[in-house]
Amino acid sequence: MENRYSRRVQYYETDKMGIVHHSNYIRIFEEARVDYLHKIGLDFAMVEGFGFLSPVLSVNCEYLHSLRFGDEFYTETRFVDFGVVKYRLCYKVYQAGTDILCARGESVHCFTDLNGKVVSVKRENKELYERFVKAANGK
């Protein structure tokens, strides 16, 4: 199961090379993740309402083709895995129209309590855990 999210490149996202600055793809990944979790009913507000945060442990991105101002792009996001302690999402960013793959990458996340202490959602909230596992398995 993949989620698709799309929008146009903003002017302020470009740099002096005339292309989207590479740091902004990390932000696009976040937008794609937020959109995905929102659509499957697991959005940030809900997860926070249960007393959890889900910070980023690591991120990587490979840049293949530059997006430019005015370009429309779409992202495809899916879970790579969802474990007891952490989970991993992967992202692909395509230029709309041409379907050229512009960037791809991953982010790894854990769950913490509201004080930032790492917790096992499986142990702390079985129901929430199972909803994530189901989403990660594409069900």
Please list the active-site residues.
15
Q: Is 42 in the site for a copy of itself (CB under 8 A)?
A: no
The answer to whether residue 6 forms part of the interface with a copy of itself (CB under 8 A) is no
Q: Which residues within the stretch 21-40 sit at the binding site for a copy of itself (CB under 8 A)?
A: 21-24, 26-27, 30-31, 34
Residue 10 contacts a copy of itself per CB under 8 A: yes
Give whichever of 63 and 74 is closer to a copy of itself, judged by the CB atom: 63
Contact indicator for 32, 77 with CB cutoff of 8 Å: yes
Asked if 57 is part of the footprint of a copy of itself (rule: CB under 8 A), the reply reads yes
Q: Decide: is 97 part of the binding site for a copy of itself (CB under 8 A).
A: no
- What HEC string does the chain produce? CCEEEEEECCHHHECCCCEECCHHHHHHHHHHHHHHHHHCCCCHHHHHHCCEECCEEEEEEEECCCCECCCEEEEEEEEEEECCCEEEEEEEEEECCCCCEEEEEEEEEECEECCCCECCHHHHCHHHHHHHHHHHCCC
Q: Which stretch binds a copy of itself (CB under 8 A): 48-56, 72-80, 84-92, 124-132?
A: 48-56
The stretch among 65-73, 76-84, 119-127, 129-137 that binds a copy of itself (CB under 8 A) is 65-73
89: which strand partners? 79, 107
Q: Is 95 in the site for a copy of itself (CB under 8 A)?
A: no
Residues that bind a copy of itself (CB under 8 A): 7, 10-12, 14-19, 21-24, 26-27, 30-31, 34, 43-45, 53, 55-63, 66, 68-70, 116
